[in-house]
């Protein structure tokens, strides 16, 4: 296509070329969509299934093989080891991937409320202390439904929140 157009038989090089209109979804470059209570709840249920499966596949057989009594007290070796697996799962997955397997399934991740990178102190505080408190008083998980930034108690303590991952939808028109 030539850069020179004619208007009434006279060349008109300054005229703008017609712009092609592209059909692309409007996705803001900055900002996040917050993950609400229910999506976080279901992600947590999946995480509990994963942790329970890991415990039953790795920890329980070792105790049975070595004939170590599992016990039911809070200070039994089995209880201590399963608690370590529980907290290690959340700490390590959040630190290295910003999400657990349950969050991956639902496409959500943990971010700092001010955009800061999640450091070890933040992750440990959120996942150890925050989860201990909300695990002790389970109804505190419902706080997520009522805060403006969809933060749980553990998020409020650590200045974090859970957001939906941004996925750009791409559309490729058919070639005719």
Q: What is the CA radius of gyration of the chain?
A: 26
- Compare 152 and 139 and report the one with higher pLDDT: 152
**Given this model, what pLDDT does residue 18 score?**
54
**Candidate from 6-20, 58-72, 88-102 with smallest mean pLDDT:** 6-20
Does this model's pTM top 0.85? My answer is: no
**Given this model, what pLDDT does residue 14 score?**
52
Residue 173 sits at φ, ψ, to 5 deg, of: -65, 150
119 CB neighbour count, 10 Å cutoff: 11
Length of the chain: 176
């Amino acid at each position: 296509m030539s850069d020179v157009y004619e208007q009434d038989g006279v060349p008109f090089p300054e005229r703008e070329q017609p712009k092609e209109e592209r059909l692309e979804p409007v996705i803001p470059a900055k900002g996040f969509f917050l993950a609400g209570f229910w999506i976080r709840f279901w992600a947590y249920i999946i995480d509990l299934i994963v942790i329970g499966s890991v415990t039953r596949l790795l920890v329980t057989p070792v105790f049975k093989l070595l004939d170590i009594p599992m016990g039911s007290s809070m200070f039994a070796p089995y209880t201590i080891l399963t608690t370590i697996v529980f907290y290690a799962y959340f700490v390590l997955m959040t630190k290295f991937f910003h999400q657990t397997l349950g969050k991956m399934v639902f496409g959500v991740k943990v971010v700092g409320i001010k955009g800061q990178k999640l450091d070890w102190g933040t992750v440990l505080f959120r996942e150890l202390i925050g989860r201990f408190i909300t695990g002790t008083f389970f109804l505190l998980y419902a706080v997520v439904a009522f805060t403006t930034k969809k933060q749980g108690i553990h998020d409020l303590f650590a200045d974090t929140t859970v957001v939906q991952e941004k996925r750009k939808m791409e559309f490729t028109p058919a070639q005719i």
